[in-house]
Structure 1
């Protein structure tokens, strides 16, 4: 038996691909083999995720650097670049597509879920639009850190399977080390994927896509009287829940274009995203968001706007009567606000320790947020310290010490204690529940930047590894990592983030 045959057989056995997207019509994608990396080195393999995917971890550790650099395509893979369009900062671009990402294929994980495995930064594709199709090490590390942090925080998200350096430079404003990121997702189908077919008047392609999404993500709507309307409602519900979770942890996506909104309801594309330190609803970090379109507080409205664009693509499937189709779509879009408010308010009640509902809860929560804004209070630590105060009044000094004016906190605290008196939970039970939804640790922008600088400038990945360790348990106190919970000093603040493309 030849060595190449043995390798092929091993790869087939260890990567049991079942590539449903590759079986769709040809206009959905372009087949594309990854480009070779000159001298790849493995930075990180997510062994726990690999095991969850049903892969042989010990075997994968030996082969990972070649597979996840793009040098070795596993048997059974059907590598392709997906076609899609999208609104970018409100301007429609009829063809975007995977310009530096290649979908290797799909596997069924140990829980029976279908998962994409995609290489990001593995070379040019037909959609690269004069780009090199490569990724720099900094953005790869950033996506690895934040996507895994989001997962640990309990937010639906794409995952990080591996990071590999290529041994080749990439040229941006400066020369940077190249890398490849391996991303895992429930799928990479976006609102922009639907827009791609709608823009071309390809109703057959649109229907095939919608049927594929129903089969893959929403099989429960297949037998609905109006399955495509039920699909639209289901996507809307997931996006409302997702964006509510973003706001509850102070997350700002930074580039909520329609090609960055998945129909599966996962967070995707962690380019210029960031977490707030001091609370301010107008916070923007993305260097390309010059007008604040995607500011923290704008995210629900942008989510609704993006869903309206999805609704437009589905009109031909909703009803043969265009006026009726528009009416049906508008009802779903108008309902987004109520869906979002339900998820957001429910989560915020939990963050301040409420297990029951009263009409005045929204005012109480908004009063706290306004106070935090006026006091320039740290978003994450304010809620975490409130957990301690909920458990014992002896922790009051710690809580009010977070504010520029400790006395100014008294009126809100009085209202809060009055409300808690009508809530049935014990103090211990309330504090425990609050600590499960108010993290002690988030991926602070300055910590990410420190890790990236150390890796890029000095090939030192120790800060990257430390961040992954602490962020894997964000709701635990972890005294040995206490400095990672603190907001940045003035000199450490990172006020601008970059797309990395």
Structure 2
């Protein structure tokens, strides 16, 4: 038997200017590290066949499955604010698309599968560490309920890649609603190819926003739809302490998914100015800057769509600005609603926003752990004697003062303590991909070819909201000598 992929490709049917046809580069000795079996089943694939040597060869790019139409997608992008007119998939190849069991079209892409015409003198390969990081974090985000690309498989290639030193090579099989980015539109806008922009917009509407088909102003509605999804996505990032690290326009997904897990990280101690990425020297993509940057990226998308809004430039700009102006309110509404849930408020009242901000300010001043503070608040809501949240503060009195006002506010609502704790635990995770845990996984794999820590961490993170007594240590923040101060881009 052979591994069968039920491909139904649409993007590769677009004009040749949208991509370059290129096959993955075969590797020496592929070996499967991890297959996401539930995701394979969801995609209509046979996980048992994917776990065979033949399956590993496909997942490493050594063998191209029947029905695939391998392409590297073209796109441009603003990288840290500087525009690059041609980027494209430099180390990723889209094998094709499948329709999953829910009727959703999904891309299947190999990341680290060799050079493409967009590689810009790079080797097109991926090192093992970044592959494991993306597998861990993307699947953790999925378990947290945040829109994201998924990881189907990780494979070691039997070859080394050269970065600062020789490292084991690997390939990640990534699954996405699509890999179309703001930068995809920019690629054609800089070339003044309005026909291609319209063709791309029509493709996006049919694929991601079918409810807009036949509307009077579909391109205006498309921009509004992307604005809404991005606003809600970034709000959800902030609610779990996630920092993307490289919010370039080529890393901004039109579908509203989190994409490209490079130097990403989750905060330990709450700090609105937190930056981990080694290349973000000016803090452009710091935790609290992410909403502002998302709007900046969306403004670049609006610029690309202006030719589709009408021939009258001034009017088109005014219409785009009106659509973009919805972002702050949409973001704030989603963010504040999420924060109310995190502190156990079922209703909205005057003063709630200030109350929650006071907590965040106290957390920042006292270096309180972001994840554990909110999780322990659930314990405190269920049992007034519980003081684990208090212990997160360097000055416990700061928490006591806030908690007194919080309990007064809770008393104004009818829910029982047990109901409130259950609701809070459903939105406040106990387990996140702690940076020091991810680094420990990578070091064990790279140095010792040991994947036991990887398997265990993936298992724990699949149930982030559940108490898992056997793995309680995975909830602990790092000790001082375990802190990860910088994360690095996989390229």
TM-score (structure 2 length as normaliser): 0.99
Written as runs of structure 1 = structure 2, the 5 A alignment for 1:40-439 is 40-62=30-52, 63-395=54-386, 397-439=387-429
**Would you identify which runs of 4 or more consecutive aligned residues in structure 1 move more than 6 Å?**
none
Question: Any conservation in 1 of the 2:430–2:467 contact (CA below 8 Å)?
Answer: yes
Determine which of 440, 456, 460 is the counterpart of 1:450: 440
User: Which segments of 5 or more consecutive residues in structure 2 lack a partner in the other structure?
Assistant: none
Deviation at 1:239, TM superposition (A): 0.3
Task: Measure the CA separation in 1 of the matches of 2:337 and 2:380.
Answer: 21
Deviation at 1:402, TM superposition (A): 1.6
- For 1:127-175, what per-residue CA distance to the aligned partner results, in whole angstroms no more than 9, with x for missing partners? 0000000000000000000000000000000000000011111011111
Task: Measure the CA separation in 1 of the matches of 2:8 and 2:354.
Answer: 51
Task: Measure the CA separation in 1 of the matches of 2:413 and 2:132.
Answer: 44
Question: Any conservation in 1 of the 2:374–2:389 contact (CA below 8 Å)?
Answer: no
Question: Any conservation in 1 of the 2:96–2:108 contact (CA below 8 Å)?
Answer: yes
Task: Measure the CA separation in 2 of the matches of 1:206 and 1:334.
Answer: 23
Question: Any conservation in 2 of the 1:252–1:296 contact (CA below 8 Å)?
Answer: yes
Written as runs of structure 1 = structure 2, the 5 A alignment for 1:464-475 is 464-475=454-465
Task: Measure the CA separation in 2 of the matches of 1:266 and 1:51.
Answer: 21
Task: Measure the CA separation in 1 of the matches of 2:22 and 2:154.
Answer: 20
TM-score (structure 1 length as normaliser): 0.97
Task: Measure the CA separation in 1 of the matches of 2:350 and 2:216.
Answer: 36
User: Which segments of 5 or more consecutive residues in structure 1 lack a partner in the other structure?
Assistant: 1-6
Deviation at 1:392, TM superposition (A): 1.1
Deviation at 1:384, TM superposition (A): 0.3
Report the equivalent of 1:3.
none
Task: Measure the CA separation in 2 of the matches of 1:21 and 1:475.
Answer: 37
- For 1:173-196, what per-residue CA distance to the aligned partner results, in whole angstroms no more than 9, with x for missing partners? 111110000000000000000000
Deviation at 1:411, TM superposition (A): 1.7
Deviation at 1:394, TM superposition (A): 1.8
For residue 261 of structure 2, give the secondary structure of its aligned residue in structure 1: coil
Question: Any conservation in 2 of the 1:244–1:344 contact (CA below 8 Å)?
Answer: yes
Task: Measure the CA separation in 2 of the matches of 1:210 and 1:256.
Answer: 22
For residue 389 of structure 2, give the secondary structure of its aligned residue in structure 1: helix
- For 1:91-132, what per-residue CA distance to the aligned partner results, in whole angstroms no more than 9, with x for missing partners? 000000000000000000001000000000000000000000
Question: Any conservation in 2 of the 1:45–1:64 contact (CA below 8 Å)?
Answer: no
CA RMSD of aligned residues (A): 0.8
Determine which of 473, 479, 487 is the counterpart of 1:489: 479
- For 1:234-269, what per-residue CA distance to the aligned partner results, in whole angstroms no more than 9, with x for missing partners? 000000000000000000000000000000000001
For residue 106 of structure 2, give the secondary structure of its aligned residue in structure 1: strand
